[in-house]
Chain A
Amino acid sequence: MDVSQAKQEHLLALKVMRLTKPTLFTNLPVTCEDRDLPGDLFDQLMREDPSTIKGAEALMLGEMLTLPQNFGNIFLGETFSSYISVHNDSIQVVKDILVKADLQTSSQRLNLSASNSAVAELKPESCIDDVIHHEVKEIGTHILVCAVSYTTQYGEKLYFRKFFKFQVLKPLDVKTKFYNAETDEVFLEAQIQNITTSPMFMEKVSLEPSMMYNVTELNTVAGGDEGESTFGKMSYLQPMDTRQYLYCLKPKPEYAEKAGVIKGVTVIGKLDIVWKTNLGERGRLQTSQLQRMAPGYGDIRLSLEMIPDTVNLEEPFDIICKITNCSERTMDLELEMMNTRSIHWCGGLQSISGLRLTDTFLKRTYEYDDIAQVCVVCPYTNNEC
């Protein structure tokens, strides 16, 4: 990762180390019983080992923290943290040291340094330390550019730069599907796949609706104080695993009638995803605005406002329909309701049919059959008949 410049001998040395979270040291327990040849020796060795858990030496996952071994992978939405150290390798006092750290991407150059003022002097064997953090917002090549300028004790002004290149990868694959209900509700299914190499804990996956909609998330099961996730104990996503999240969107009353809702492309909202990995390493992504193409309703739309799920046999029930004029002109409509011969006397799901709307001007009739289903039950025996 380290690509340095021309080979002038400098008094100062710059070193960089990416600070991903540390890892917990794991032991490999080798034990025996007192009756075996080594006797208590193996157990004694494990008790004396500083990294074992005292009283439970066979427990593999210890408490000793180990620094990151290598640069590792970095994903869009994560925070790039790095230690930058400038060390005076020489025997003279160095003056006016200015350390700058920039991050260069294909589209922009960002300054990352905490302080922009020079350090007055740096004695031999001393160092200037800085830890920089940056939430990565682009995929692809990133270059950390560290520039050091300083003055020697003889007044000579020197300068050098070091470049550290790394790739930012894509962590998640998000696919969305829309389902239209018979009412004005729209259901969004978001399919999220972990395309990294470590397990991910999905801390939050929420849909921020656009102005026109209210959203209900359908990913928790009611019960307990917080409600349990529909994914149960599997709170994390293994590499290459996929999960589906479901949301219900209902247009706000003031927008329900607007032409945009009924026809064409509407902006539904965006997904906000927060995840965590090893020791709380955090990542966050938002999708762009999700769009939905409304289904074509033609000139007239019949939708349901209210209908019971279950009705009793031979009892009348009410449904409320809404008729919307989706065309550009005013309409004069007549409503006619025709009885169908509901021949299935056995209950179950029955279809509501037989609505006719006639445009009196154009003499055009619109037929609405199977606009909804109700479940018919026999009230006497409490069973479906």
Chain B
Amino acid sequence: MRPTECVCDYDSWNPVDIAAGLPLCFHPSVMSSKNWRAAVDLTGRLLTAHGQGYGKAGQQSSHTTDSLQLWFVRLSLLTKLNLFQNAELEIEPFGNLDQPDLFYEYYPTVYPGRRGSMVPFSMRLLHAELPQYLAKPQEALDRLHNLKTVCLAILENLEKGLAEDGSMITLTQENRQGSLKLWRSRLSRVMYSMANCLLLMKDYVLAVETYHSIIQYEPQQRVQLLSGIGRIFLQIGDVKTAERYFQDVEKACQMTGSQPSHTTCVLMNRAFVSLSQNNYTEAHASFTEVLKMDPKNPVANNNAAVCLLYLGCLKESLGQLEGLVQQDPALYLHESVLFNLTTMYELESSRSTQKKQALLEAVACREGDSFNTQCLKLL
């Protein structure tokens, strides 16, 4: 195990640039072909080589920043594979990520002079979010709230001219700006997690408030956030309030000047309102308007096909979706689109199983081992 290089005297939670010190062969491209299970196995083998991993629970651990990054990747992939229980089991020995052996000070020979936590912020975020996928959303919310408090405290210190931990170390202007930017983006990421968790808990009032409060930190996402809030109200059934939010979106779009993405957003919102008023014809027209500007837009294509079904045009709808999958499988072999396809196959004929098999074959050769075959409903 090679010691990593000591780069600078940053304090808590500012992970070092690890690319320089990466000792083992884990290149991110292993994950780009979506063979996540294979990637998970690889992390397992590498961690074992590190002296951790399978069968080593309970023994004294020796962490490095690299090994922690490997753990982070492993846990992230388990989460992406929806293997939440496995992830929970494996993260459990880390406690609340503030055990002494997770600090630089614990390894004075390996990281001489360095202080603070070795745990990547992204790992803390994952650790906080995990309980909600295991039916313990309140615990996730509590952990996220703690993270938020820390981010706010650090930002306050930085804004007051202190270092992140409140000490009087002077930072250069460049470092201060860099640190402020980093912690602001971390804060808004935590707030997104909190809002998502509240939505999962069906606490719509708080979820809406939280999404709303992200706008001040990420003003360039105003249109997306307001539209998202509108969709939440549509899910509740409060069409009037949704329309008010969509009007705010239109105003925001007008203020920032017309961008194609904004026009798309406004049209999509309009389509959802039409849907909520049982006007599938209008909804289909709005989605089609989007396709005039952006013919490859996968959401507009999928949604237009869905509208066709509600208008009694099964064959047309199927034809549209099938055509898309054949033309551009990379874009359209998505869980949601495939689910819609298989649902329509079942409605169309008794020979739906054959068609689903054909789909599965098409998917298998493209998607790697991470694909969730449940959406093909072959059982």
Say yes or no for B175: interface residue by CB 8 A criterion: no
Knowing A32-B72, A55-B261, A67-B339 touch, does A50 contact B332 (C-beta < 8 A)?
yes
Say yes or no for B26: interface residue by CB 8 A criterion: yes
A-side contacts of B73, CB under 8 Å:
37-38
B181-207: which have CB < 8 Å to A? 189, 192-193, 195-196, 199-200, 202, 204-205
Is there an interface contact between B310 and A51, defined as CB atoms closer than 8 Å? no
Say yes or no for B5: interface residue by CB 8 A criterion: no
Knowing A30-B76, A65-B303 touch, does A236 contact B236 (C-beta < 8 A)?
yes
Is there an interface contact between B15 and A19, defined as CB atoms closer than 8 Å? no
**Which of B202, B239, B336 counts the most chain A CB atoms within 10 A?**
B336
Q: Which residue of A lies closest to B65 (CB)?
A: A37
Contact of A36 among B79, B120, B205, B218 (CB under 8 A): B120
Say yes or no for B122: interface residue by CB 8 A criterion: yes
Say yes or no for A60: interface residue by CB 8 A criterion: yes
Is there an interface contact between B237 and A236, defined as CB atoms closer than 8 Å? yes
A-side contacts of B237, CB under 8 Å:
199-201, 203, 236, 275-281
Say yes or no for B272: interface residue by CB 8 A criterion: yes
**Which of A38, A44, A50 counts the most chain B CB atoms within 10 A?**
A50
Say yes or no for B306: interface residue by CB 8 A criterion: yes
B-side contacts of A92, CB under 8 Å:
none
Choose the segment among A83-91, A177-185, A247-255 that binds chain B (4+ C-beta atoms closer than 8 Å).
A83-91
Is there an interface contact between B236 and A33, defined as CB atoms closer than 8 Å? no
Is there an interface contact between B302 and A280, defined as CB atoms closer than 8 Å? no
Q: Which residue of B lies closest to A68 (CB)?
A: B343
B-side contacts of A83, CB under 8 Å:
309, 312, 314, 347
Alpha-carbon distance A37/B18, docked complex (angstroms): 7
A29-71: which have CB < 8 Å to B? 29-33, 35-39, 41-42, 44-45, 49-51, 53-56, 58-68
Say yes or no for B234: interface residue by CB 8 A criterion: yes
A322-357: which have CB < 8 Å to B? none
Alpha-carbon distance A25/B202, docked complex (angstroms): 15
Residue tally, chain B, CB below 8 Å to A:
84
**Which of A42, A44, A61 counts the most chain B CB atoms within 10 A?**
A61
Say yes or no for B45: interface residue by CB 8 A criterion: no
Say yes or no for A22: interface residue by CB 8 A criterion: yes
Alpha-carbon distance A214/B343, docked complex (angstroms): 52
A-side contacts of B62, CB under 8 Å:
none
Choose the segment among A124-132, A166-174, A302-310 that binds chain B (4+ C-beta atoms closer than 8 Å).
A124-132
Alpha-carbon distance A28/B347, docked complex (angstroms): 29
B-side contacts of A236, CB under 8 Å:
204, 236-238
Alpha-carbon distance A83/B313, docked complex (angstroms): 10
Is there an interface contact between A56 and B205, defined as CB atoms closer than 8 Å? no
Say yes or no for A300: interface residue by CB 8 A criterion: no
Closest approach, in angstroms, between the C-beta of B373 and any C-beta of chain A?
16
Alpha-carbon distance A62/B348, docked complex (angstroms): 27
Residue tally, chain A, CB below 8 Å to B:
67
Say yes or no for A13: interface residue by CB 8 A criterion: yes
A-side contacts of B76, CB under 8 Å:
30, 32, 38, 42
Is there an interface contact between B79 and A37, defined as CB atoms closer than 8 Å? no
Q: Which residue of B lies closest to A35 (CB)?
A: B15
Say yes or no for B228: interface residue by CB 8 A criterion: yes
Say yes or no for B346: interface residue by CB 8 A criterion: yes
Say yes or no for B158: interface residue by CB 8 A criterion: no
Q: Interface digits, A291-316 against B, CB 8 Å rule (1 contact, 0 not)?
A: 00000000000000000000000000
Is there an interface contact between B331 and A50, defined as CB atoms closer than 8 Å? yes
Say yes or no for B292: interface residue by CB 8 A criterion: no
Q: Interface digits, A146-188 against B, CB 8 Å rule (1 contact, 0 not)?
A: 0000000000000000000000000000000000000000000
Is there an interface contact between A36 and B15, defined as CB atoms closer than 8 Å? yes
Is there an interface contact between A67 and B80, defined as CB atoms closer than 8 Å? no
Q: Which residue of A lies closest to B304 (CB)?
A: A65
Is there an interface contact between B80 and A235, defined as CB atoms closer than 8 Å? no
Alpha-carbon distance A199/B199, docked complex (angstroms): 13
Q: Interface digits, B215-253 against A, CB 8 Å rule (1 contact, 0 not)?
A: 000101100110110011011111101000000000000
A-side contacts of B232, CB under 8 Å:
61
Alpha-carbon distance A269/B344, docked complex (angstroms): 47
Alpha-carbon distance A199/B22, docked complex (angstroms): 50
A-side contacts of B261, CB under 8 Å:
54-55
Knowing A36-B120, A37-B26, A279-B272 touch, does A235 contact B238 (C-beta < 8 A)?
yes
Closest approach, in angstroms, between the C-beta of A137 and any C-beta of chain B?
19
Is there an interface contact between B313 and A279, defined as CB atoms closer than 8 Å? no
Is there an interface contact between B348 and A87, defined as CB atoms closer than 8 Å? yes
Is there an interface contact between B349 and A89, defined as CB atoms closer than 8 Å? yes
Closest approach, in angstroms, between the C-beta of B63 and any C-beta of chain A?
14
Alpha-carbon distance A281/B79, docked complex (angstroms): 33
Alpha-carbon distance A41/B349, docked complex (angstroms): 41
Is there an interface contact between A56 and B225, defined as CB atoms closer than 8 Å? yes
Is there an interface contact between B299 and A51, defined as CB atoms closer than 8 Å? yes
Alpha-carbon distance A236/B31, docked complex (angstroms): 43
Alpha-carbon distance A60/B199, docked complex (angstroms): 9
Is there an interface contact between B202 and A199, defined as CB atoms closer than 8 Å? yes
- 21 inter-chain pairs at a CB distance below 8 angstroms, sorted by A residue, are A15-B346, A29-B196, A30-B79, A30-B80, A30-B126, A32-B76, A32-B120, A37-B70, A44-B32, A50-B337, A61-B231, A63-B299, A64-B303, A64-B334, A85-B347, A87-B349, A129-B315, A130-B312, A275-B237, A279-B272, A280-B234
List 9 tightest A-B contacts by C-beta distance, closest first. A280-B276, A276-B237, A201-B237, A50-B298, A56-B224, A37-B69, A58-B192, A60-B196, A32-B122
